Amino acid sequence: MLILTIARLTVLEMLRRRLFLVLLGLTLLVIAFTSWGFGQITTVGTRPMTRVEQIAVVSQLLVLVGFMFSFTLAFSAVFAGAPSLSGDVESGTALAILARPISRAEFVIGKWLGVVTTIFLYAIPTTALQLFMVDRIVQYVPPHPIEFIAFISAEAMVSLTLALALSTRLAGMVGGVIALILWGVAWIGGIVGSVGLALQNTTAQHVGTATRLLLPTDGMWRGAIWALEPEGIVAAARAAGPAAAGNPFFAADPPEALYIAWVVAWIALGLGIAIWSFTQREI
């Protein structure tokens, strides 16, 4: 019950912040702009595009727009998570709350749940709107729209959990910068793994696997890409052999069930570490 109280407090606090409204406004602007842009892709030179060509172009541009969402969500999750605990401790607002009969675990879980809810409140409507607008304008729906939203939301949850765990000990700015750097390292590590696959270099492949296990943000992003790739592109890439795997904006297969289970376990473990760390600290 107290978890929900803290979660509700966190959601209300974030919704009342100007940052959320600015982010939402900018996202709607980007959706409007990209939707207009998709409507302009109708010709190759002077001749009209075929439907196959249009789908090929639109689907790949949608992957890039998807990356923007992934990037924005990861940043938002980090900026929301990194000061969530440390900010309350530094400002003193945590003193009055934690002096109540509430456990540190309830406080941390409530904060996490509140930020996750806010991220969902942002991610689900905006990504759904983006996909809806593309469908309305060019009559194209990616093959797995629900999975796309689920994967980039999961990526944000991983970023958030990392930032929250850092927030138990580090100031918001420090934790945020570290989380963002790690997110970037994981992304590059994933690319190194893909290049390794293309070049059949086992060391590079191992680097990719290790980073995707240590910080599964890139693994979830790969899932989101897969969800956006139409069958034709996947078939063409498969025909092209392992070289296609080198494209950082392409994924032919969804993450394995075992990997998804690992991501769930990673989030649970990260939250567990955050609870343990916050329980040990002095306020």
Binding site for another protein (CB under 8 A): 2, 5, 9, 13, 16-17, 91-93, 95-103, 282-283
The first and second tokens of residue 208, run together, are 């990719």
CB of 114 to another protein, least distance (A): 13
Q: Give the nearer residue to another protein in terms of CB position, either 269 or 283.
A: 283
Measure the CA angle with vertex 189, ends 180 and 120; round to 5°: 45
CB of 16 to another protein, least distance (A): 5
Q: Which of 98, 111, 102 is nearest to 167 (CA)?
A: 111
Q: How far apart are CA 139 and CA 97, in angstroms?
A: 51
Q: Give the nearer residue to another protein in terms of CB position, either 104 or 212.
A: 104
The first and second tokens of residue 40, run together, are 């302009």
- Are 180 and 72 in contact by the 8 Å Cβ rule? The answer is no
Q: Give the nearer residue to another protein in terms of CB position, either 97 or 129.
A: 97
CB of 100 to another protein, least distance (A): 4
CB of 75 to another protein, least distance (A): 22
The first and second tokens of residue 239, run together, are 């025909």
CB of 15 to another protein, least distance (A): 10
Q: Give the nearer residue to another protein in terms of CB position, either 18 or 47.
A: 18
- Are 206 and 130 in contact by the 8 Å Cβ rule? The answer is no
Q: Give the nearer residue to another protein in terms of CB position, either 15 or 252.
A: 15
Strand partners, 44: 47
